[in-house]
Amino acid sequence: MTSVGSTSPPALYIDRAIPDGFEDIFGDDFTVIGPESEALPAAVAVLAGASLWPGERMAEAPDLQVISRTGIGFDTVDLDAATERGIVVCNAPESPTVSTAEHTMALLLSATKSLPANQRRLRDHDGDYYAANEGMELAGRTIGVVGYGRIGSRVARAAAALDMDVIVHDPYVDDIAFASVGLDELWRRSDVVTMHCPLTDETREMVDETALAAMKPGAVFVNAARGGVVDQDALVAALESGHLAFVALDVTTPEPLPIGHPLLTRENVVVTPHIASATDRGRRRMYTHAIANVHTVLGGDRPASCVNPEVYER
């Protein structure tokens, strides 16, 4: 392992520019390179943002020892390829929790209070604003939370504070403070469905035509997890048919959506470009945790948030 304390600081590749004011987090322990792709071959460590890390890209850096995600998800990294190459992959699971949960609630409230439509009408001085408003009152409505991890559980508590009835589906969590239900029951009972599960083979496009049809007419759908958990064509169809009343998304497929995409042209849809965790404190926590993971790996120790533990068996 390369020692962080050596006289030649290890090369740390970043795949996006360092945010202004974050230079102190890096200190003098690394030679920071990137985000230009031609810098990658010198890398001993990588701070991975949202870019893809297939095996071919890893192979460009023969001395690469660790890929440290600046967020919680790691579906952008080929774990099998990393393990085969002896590369430790880790994430920063605690870092985006607060900001992403808050953003989820902002999406929900923005959509259900018809903020985009009302803002447009006001800008255009268009009509009887009070009569035109189609906002939904959330108190007493049922919200179904899919995924009861750090973010999902926080969203559940926030929804309960709005006097919503909370039901949860997560087969991997036993200690759930709200009613735990099967997925079919959650689709059927929920006035609002909000997604907080990772993207895996099991969850890919779990919100498909069948799931959407099972939801109540006039239901609300929120997704701040991963775009791939939704069949996006089916989602658009459910909107166009009027089956869904509102949709609010921070994640899509692809990211960003192309100009003119149907999800960007409807006033009952709110879309943000996968920025839920990118707040002042959230972003700093992500970088601080990700760099701490790099220190741990290059120092010869095993990070608590390693997501390919099999690499240590090699």
Asked if the structure places residue 86 within a domain, the reply is: yes
Query: Within a domain: residue 215?
Result: yes
Q: Could you give the percent of the chain with pLDDT greater than 70?
A: 98
Identified catalytic residue from 69, 274, 283, 295: 274
Residue 50 has pLDDT above 80, yes or no: no
Provide the domain limits for residue 236: 97-271
Say what the pTM is.
Answer: 0.89
Say how far apart CA 21 and CA 33 lie, in whole Å.
17
Question: Is 225 in the same domain as 283?
Answer: no
Per-residue pLDDT reduced to its tens digit, 140-196 = 999 999 999 999 999 999 999 999 999 999 999 999 999 999 999 999 999 999 999
Q: Which two tokens stand for residue 107?
A: 């999406």
CA-to-CA dists, residue 96 to 27, 198, 277, 288, 305, angstroms = 22, 14, 5, 12, 14
CA distance 245 to 138: 13
226 is catalytic: yes
- Kindly state whether residue 29 falls inside one of the protein's structural domains: yes
| Residues linked to residue 307 through DSSP beta bridges, in sequence order | none
pLDDT level of residue 78 (50, 70, 90 thresholds): very high
Domain identity same for 165 and 120: yes
How many angstroms separate the most distant Cα atoms in the chain? 70
Find, among 233, 290, 296, the residue nearest to 48 by Cα: 290
**Residue carrying the six token digits 């259900």:** 112
CATH number for the domain spanning 60: value is 3.40.50.720
Annotation says 196 is catalytic: no
Residue 199 tokens read as: 């993207």
Look at the chain and report how many structural domains it folds into.
2
Out of 94, 137, 240, 255, pick the active-site residue.
255
Active-site residue identified among 141, 154, 226, 295: 226
Report, as an integer, the average pLDDT of 70-86. 94
> DSSP label at 38?
G
